[in-house]
């Protein structure tokens, strides 16, 4: 589609995803102001908020040659920055950890600690496979968006972007409410063996640790939630992709516990949250889209 035609059809009202992003930035700005002295480099994050919000408002109200790409893809970078911020905000604002509580819930349900029990089926090939599945979580989620974009399914793309952005941001709020690092830290002393892969396991694990830093990102399991949402959204692309994601999703969910990143109650919370969003997001999207409809097929 011609760029000028796209610009003519882009509304100067806020889209649903814009409203969700702005609401989340408002929430984190309140955290910054309330705990200014406790949050390291608070001035830097406040400056980023001002720039990010200002840039979004400018692109909405002043359409230009970069508007079409920006408004459809900006949430990718904004949501990523929000994740990195939570690694700083949570330790500064919340001074307790929920790991012991979550581990106790797991133990009451199963009578064992699942990550410890799973040692009995641990093997190098299985560990390698599951780490690969876990590591490629973000590309798997983004692949659906990329394919929708490539097919020119802009209405479907924009709804999927809204759903995924909403899923990520809601999970970040969950991290703040229930801060936890995960069983690989709390239950490390109970594990009898270290996980061992074959070729790329160690490199992938170290890379993830560096990208994620030490983040309180257990509850709910964002990997579980967003993979389920991606599986649901993949049906907008094709039945073949939907079936492929249907096969990938349970493997990824199992990997979150096997690799000791999550408690099973995290996984359950992520699955329940995904189901709730799948059921309610269409109505939320329609309501938030009033006055700011995005381009798409009729």
- Which segment of 59-73, 193-207, 263-277 scores lowest on mean pLDDT? 193-207
Cβ atoms of 130 and 251 within 8 Å: the answer is: yes
Taking Cα atoms as reference points, which of 51, 71, 72 lies closest to residue 60? 71
SS (H, E, C) the chain: CCHHHHHHHCCCCCCHHHHHHHHHHHHHHHHHHHCCCCCCCHHHHHHHHHHHHHHHHHHHHCCCCCHHHHHHHHHHHHHHHHHHHHHHHHHHHCCCCCHHHHHHHHHHHHCCCHHHHHHHHCCHHHHHHHHHHHHCHHHHHHHHHHHHHHCCCHHHHHHHHHHHHHHHHHHHHHHHHCCCCCHHHHCHHHCCCCCCCCCCHHHHHHHHHHHHCCCCCCCCCHHHHHHHHHHHHHCCCCHHHHHHHHHHHHHHHHHHHHCCCCCHHHHHHHHHHHHHHHHHHHHHHHHHHCCCCCCCCC
Tell me: the pLDDT tens digits for 270-287? 999 999 999 999 999 999
Band of residue 291 on the pLDDT scale cut at 50, 70, 90: low
Q: How high is the pLDDT of residue 199?
A: 80
Neighbours of 38 (CB within 10 A): 13
Q: pTM for the full model?
A: 0.90
**For the residues 235-253, what does the mean pLDDT come to?**
96
Whether residue 3 is predicted with pLDDT greater than 90 in this model: the reply is no
Q: Measured between alpha carbons, how far is 233 from 164 in angstroms, rounded to an integer?
A: 9
Band of residue 257 on the pLDDT scale cut at 50, 70, 90: very high
Whether residue 124 is predicted with pLDDT greater than 70 in this model: the reply is yes
Q: How high is the pLDDT of residue 1?
A: 42
């Amino acid at each position: 589609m011609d760029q000028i035609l796209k610009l003519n059809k882009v509304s100067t009202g806020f889209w649903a995803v814009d409203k969700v992003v702005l609401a989340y930035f408002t929430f984190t700005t309140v955290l910054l102001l309330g705990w200014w002295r406790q949050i390291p480099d608070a001035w830097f994050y406040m400056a980023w908020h001002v720039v990010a919000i200002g840039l979004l408002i400018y692109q909405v109200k002043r359409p230009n040659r970069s508007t079409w790409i920006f408004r459809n893809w900006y949430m990718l970078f904004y949501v990523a920055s929000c994740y990195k911020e939570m690694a700083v905000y949570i330790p500064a604002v919340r001074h307790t950890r929920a790991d012991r509580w979550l581990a106790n819930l797991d133990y009451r349900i199963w009578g064992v600690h699942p990550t410890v029990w799973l040692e009995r089926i641990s093997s190098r090939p299985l560990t390698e496979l599951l780490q690969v599945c876990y590591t490629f979580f973000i590309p798997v989620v983004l692949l659906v968006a990329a394919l929708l974009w490539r097919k020119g399914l802009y209405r479907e793309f924009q709804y999927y972007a809204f759903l995924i952005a909403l899923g990520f941001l809601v999970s970040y709020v969950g991290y703040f409410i229930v801060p936890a690092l995960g069983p690989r830290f709390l239950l490390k002393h109970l594990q009898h063996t270290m996980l061992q892969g074959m070729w790329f396991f160690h490199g992938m694990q170290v890379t993830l640790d560096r990208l994620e830093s030490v983040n309180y990102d257990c509850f709910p399991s964002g990997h579980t939630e967003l993979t389920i949402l991606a599986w649901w959204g993949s049906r907008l692309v094709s039945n073949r992709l939907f079936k492929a994601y249907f096969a990938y999703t349970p493997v990824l969910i199992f990997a979150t516990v096997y690799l000791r990143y999550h408690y099973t109650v995290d996984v359950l919370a992520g699955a329940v949250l995904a189901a709730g969003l799948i059921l309610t997001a269409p109505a939320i999207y329609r309501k938030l889209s009033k006055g700011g409809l995005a381009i798409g097929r009729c």
